Structure 1
Amino acid sequence: MLARALRRLLSAAGLAAGVSLILLLVFDSGLLGDPALIETGPKASAQRIGEARLRLGAFSAYEPRLATLHVAGPPQRFVLRSAGDALELRTLDGSQRWRVPLTGRTVQQALAELDGASPAPGWRLSLTPGPGAQERAQAPASGIAAALRGASQSLDTGRGAELAWAEAVPAWRRYGRRIGELFRGDFGVTRTGQPIGAELWSRARRSLALAVPAFLLSTALALALALWAAVRRGWLDRVLAVLSVAGMSVSWVAAIPLLQRWLAADLRWFPIYGWEPPYWTYLLLPILIWTVLGLWADLRFYRSLALEELHQEYVRNARAQGLGGARVLRRHVLRNILVPVLAQSVSALPALALGSLLIERFFGVPGLGGYTVDAVLSGDQAVLRAVTFLSAMCFLLFQWLADLACAWADPRYGARP
């Protein structure tokens, strides 16, 4: 038993590290685009992009006002951008290009070369040191190009452009730091500066207050109806079979607003929408709708399990020995279908933490589902990373709980290697 637990623990640790690596590849590697550009938008200023990279962990340090660069000469617009580890200044049409190599130089040396240089005949650069010029004087000049990577700045004659400096964090170091932060529960802050951990906990409680009662009611009702239908058979079984197929065919997107309008707007039995004290009044209708719409697939599955067990030889022997129907169900049928029921139910538990995206949206419950949707719409990578990691960890935890529950229900299951 101890060896099995250790194997499960090591497997869970490996899977958690793998999840963290996948999250790094998806959110931080740039496979799906630059995370900072996705969050801020392609037309954001270089300073906004740099601040987003600092918050997302791509930069360990960022100085937005290293120096101000000016150009004197005939009216012209230049574009300032990074080109590898070099700084490039070119005209809009690309006819004039000028590069300043930054590799192996300090910030002080790079700024000295820029001051007074002529990028093209008739134009001359001048430079005004900013608040961070002295502090970063001996820092690598490649940080100037790093601060501009993925962005560009316009430099017009008569108007200055801010030069920034940044220290980029290598991918392997970001991965190690990210794993440590995630396992410590440090999920960082949102793009608006709000702590993610506190908001996740607050919203998770609301989602669970909605999802757990609905899940328990739906599971218990489906199991009771399935056993009743399997024992009685006849017209009741046929009616429930038809209702199961019909219930599974109904779209939640259509059913939720129809039931909401009928029960809340027309009959006025429940509040229609909102979230204010007393909160439980706003949970009754969502729980009821979730239970009614969610029980049909479970009912069909549990009915098939019960029918299969009722046709086993040991059930016929138990009835031949004079055991009543209720006792046969409780002692034999229910006990033998408990393992697949527990496995199916526990595997569905991780989804409860997120709640129902549709239910929360339609009824205005400020839970994790709405929080995730808002993060997707706003491109908040930190929130998406935190929610994905917690969902994966919940899945691993509940898979382990499913194994323990199945071993408790059937000792033969726990004896398997």
Structure 2
Amino acid sequence: MERCLFCVNGVVFLANLILSAQAMLEPIDFLALQSVRKSLNDLPGSSFFAAWDFTGDPCDFPGVYCNRDGEKVTALNLGDSRAGSPGLAGRIDPAVGELSALTEFTIVPGRIFGALPRTLSQLKELRFLAVSRNFISGEIPAGLGQLRSLQTLDFSFNQLTGSIPPAIGTLPALTNAVLCHNRLSGAIPAFASRALTRLDLKHNQLSGELPPLGLPPSLTYLSLSWNRLTGAVDGQLSRLSRLNYVDLSMNRFRGGIPSNLFDFPITSLQLQRNQFSGELQPADDVAIPTVDLSFNQLSGEIPPSFSTVQNLYLNNNRFTGQVPGSLVERLLLSGGGIQTLYLQHNYLTGIEIDPTAEIPASTSLCLQYNCMILPVQTPCPSRAGKQRTRPAAQCTVH
């Protein structure tokens, strides 16, 4: 006679199929998945958890991936990853740390609240950790520095506070660190990984100077904008010759801009709204499509080598002298020339341009509030003000 597993009103329910399904996955992982499921729910319009029926094999659940033997969960991707799909709501249960073979853990954008469980530090095999665009709060657990295999760390667009644990910077395999759009404060730690290519810390409350030699030369993407960072960066930037995107805008950086930076394979150089000073001295023609150095304290004459830039923002600085003729030539070139040339709010004394010249309709030129009578009238941004020419007294003093 078969053993009675469940008896309800005298009816015998044999759970052979249930037991055989559960036996495929180790009990610890099975119970961990149950706890994770209980702590999360589908947002209206989402049906991600509809197929999470624990009478079947959890390795067949959407977002659950197991090893070849089906005994351990190796990846957990929670939520429908299709663009525009509703996400999940709830909290991340600490039981996720029991999935000892987990190499990847992600949650799609949604309404996940609460702190990051400290049990994440138990996932020694974890290589990819991404919980972005939710409402995660609290501090980043320092224990994540124990995940020596971690390659991608993405907690962007949340409500994290506190400092970035120095232990995060010691992760030897880290290639992507994306912590932007949070409320992080304190200093940027030194990053030891020589595989790090992307560092995105923009839109936080970080302060202090960049760590000496703390940015590895492997970096190709660097975004630190909208923080409270200070100090000189020329020594740091001049070493990062692989950079193809740089955004240090909206900080308090000071000092000079290294000349070799303009030789790097950068597609966008954003250094606006800082306290950079000194003259610009690119060695060769600048091949960077977009260069924004506006709202700084840069001085001297504008280098002719900037004539090869498509979108050039040098406004609100202290530039003097004539606008280089090479910039004018490229400006008047129909198609393939300069598209944006903002030179307003400087101390420029002249520009050689035919007042009857036809500036291409696709080109934006602004010259107002300099030490010259404008030879051409072109539309400027409204924030440039209404005054066409800088007061003569300012030009004399300068």
Q: Same fold (TM over 0.5)?
A: no
More strand by share: 2
Query: How high is the TM-score relative to the length of structure 1?
Result: 0.23
Query: How high is the TM-score relative to the length of structure 2?
Result: 0.24
More helix by share: 1
Instruction: State the structure with more CA Rg.
Output: 1
